[in-house]
Amino acid sequence: MENNYISIRNLKKVYTSGSGIFSGGKHQLKAIDGVSLEIRKGKTLGLVGESGCGKSTIGRCLIRLTEPDSGEAIYQGIDIMKIKKSEFTPYRKKFQIIFQDPYSSLNPRMTVGDILKEIIKFHNPNKKKEIEDKCYKLLEVTGLNRNSINKYPHEFSGGQRQRIAIARALAVEPEFIVCDEPVSALDVSIQSQIINLLKDLQKEFGITYLFISHDLSVVKHISDDIAVMYLGKIMEFSEKEKLFSELYHPYTKSLLSSVPKPEPRNKSRAEALKGEIPSPLNIPSGCPFHTRCPQVIDICTELFPSKRGSDNHYAYCHLINDKTSGIK
């Protein structure tokens, strides 16, 4: 695809924990199992899937908060997964992250002004007046009042606190922001305000986003491309418009039908997706979705499907016939 910004290739991360009583060994949890993705410059890649499928692990690996076991992430010709942690410092400034719960990442004893100034000073030792000006500019672009500068995080609502977290991420003039469920804790009406803010900032500053959410309807709003993930693997990837005009993967279909519809016909999540997601400690053989797939056939239990489709819309599903497009 054109304008590739970060190319993720075959990224893997296994967590080892405790000791298995029956296996006599350690538990191996495959959090991400060979993920490849392209993130386009100045665009938003939405990453969606049920809780525990490995979304945050991908985001955290990209900014080296988590170390992957293997795989690459190529940025400007350099594999940023391979470079030493100490050599990652210049990228720290370019790559930022915002979380679901900004409260836990904002120091409650610091005013908003101090929080922002600390970051500006750290990355850019400017004069006092310049720091102050930049601080007000950040408040302005994130839709916060000028007098917020002297207030503490607890004096704000959840949506405003997310604006503060966004302002703090912007303070270093980043190129790329991992947005990890940034609106999941907010009321629906506030969610769209924050999403619109993120979109506006992308337009103004050309920022690239990896936008993570368990909610396809949220991802749909902000994304240019969408990747659907299940138990550590990408199931489907598509440019947004193509995805919604023609779904390939039964898992994507069930995610879509679990998006609440407007009243009066509100389809419940249980109707759409049957059963619980299997434990990542014990991932089903073949296609990991086969235990819940309404269209399962024999081969699905044995073999993970090959990639089918084109670069801008593909999926891993035995039901896709290469001659047809999508599942009939």
Q: How far is CA 134 from CA 140, 174, 177, 235, in A?
A: 10, 14, 19, 42
Q: Please give the residues from 3 up to 22 whose contact with ligand ADP meets the rule CB under 6 A.
A: 15, 17
54 binds, among Mg ion, ligand ADP, none (CB under 5 to 8 A by kind): ligand ADP
Name 289's Cβ contacts closer than 8 Å, sequence gap at least 6.
230, 231, 235, 249, 250, 251, 300
196 binds, among ligand ADP, Mg ion, none (CB under 5 to 8 A by kind): none
Residues 128, 316: Cα–Cα separation, whole Å: 54
Tell me the backbone φ, ψ of residue 325, rounded to 5 degrees: -115, 120
Question: Is the peptide bond preceding residue 288 cis, with omega within 30 degrees of 0?
Answer: no
Q: Please give the residues from 53 up to 92 whose contact with Mg ion meets the rule CB under 5 A.
A: 56
Tell me the backbone φ, ψ of residue 243, rounded to 5 degrees: -65, -45
5 binds, among ligand ADP, Mg ion, none (CB under 5 to 8 A by kind): none
Q: Please give the residues from 170 up to 199 whose contact with ligand ADP meets the rule CB under 6 A.
A: none
Of these, 8, 11, 29, 61, which contacts ligand ADP (CB under 6 A)? Answer: 29
DSSP letter at 172?
T
For ligand ADP, the closer of residues 142 and 258 by Cβ is: 258
For ligand ADP, the closer of residues 57 and 162 by Cβ is: 57
Number of amino acids touching ligand ADP (CB under 6 A): 13
User: Which two three-digit tokens encode residue 226?
Assistant: 């969408």
Alpha carbon of residue 51 to chain centroid: 12
52 binds, among ligand ADP, Mg ion, none (CB under 5 to 8 A by kind): ligand ADP
Q: Give yes or no for residue 102 binding ligand ADP (CB under 6 A).
A: no
Among the residue ranges 27-35, 52-60, 112-120, 163-171, the one whose residues contact Mg ion (CB under 5 A)? 52-60
DSSP per residue, 274-321: -SPPPPTTSPPSSSTTTTT-TT--GGGGT-PPPEEEETTEEEE-TT--
Shortest reach from residue 212's CB to ligand ADP, in Å: 7
Q: Please give the residues from 47 up to 66 whose contact with ligand ADP meets the rule CB under 6 A.
A: 49, 51-57
15 binds, among ligand ADP, Mg ion, none (CB under 5 to 8 A by kind): ligand ADP
Residues 112, 115: Cα–Cα separation, whole Å: 5
Residues 173, 318: Cα–Cα separation, whole Å: 44
CA angle, residues 44, 46, 47, in degrees to nearest 5: 145
Helix H, strand E, coil C: the string for 99-156 is: CCCHHHHCCCCCCHHHHHHHHHHHHCCCCHHHHHHHHHHHHHHCCCCHHHHHCCHHHC
CB-closest chain residue to ligand ADP? 56
User: Which two three-digit tokens encode residue 146?
Assistant: 């000028």
Among the residue ranges 27-35, 48-56, 238-246, 284-292, the one whose residues contact Mg ion (CB under 5 A)? 48-56
User: Which two three-digit tokens encode residue 188?
Assistant: 């629906």
Shortest reach from residue 214's CB to ligand ADP, in Å: 7
**Using CB under 6 A as the criterion, what x/- string covers residues 262-281 for binding ligand ADP?**
------------------x-
Residues 263, 261: Cα–Cα separation, whole Å: 6
29 binds, among ligand ADP, Mg ion, none (CB under 5 to 8 A by kind): ligand ADP
102 binds, among ligand ADP, Mg ion, none (CB under 5 to 8 A by kind): none
Shortest reach from residue 265's CB to ligand ADP, in Å: 29
Shortest reach from residue 226's CB to Mg ion, in Å: 17
Shortest reach from residue 93's CB to ligand ADP, in Å: 24
Question: Under the rule (CB under 5 A), what is the footprint of Mg ion?
Answer: 56
Question: Under the rule (CB under 6 A), what is the footprint of ligand ADP?
Answer: 15, 17, 29, 31, 49, 51-57, 280
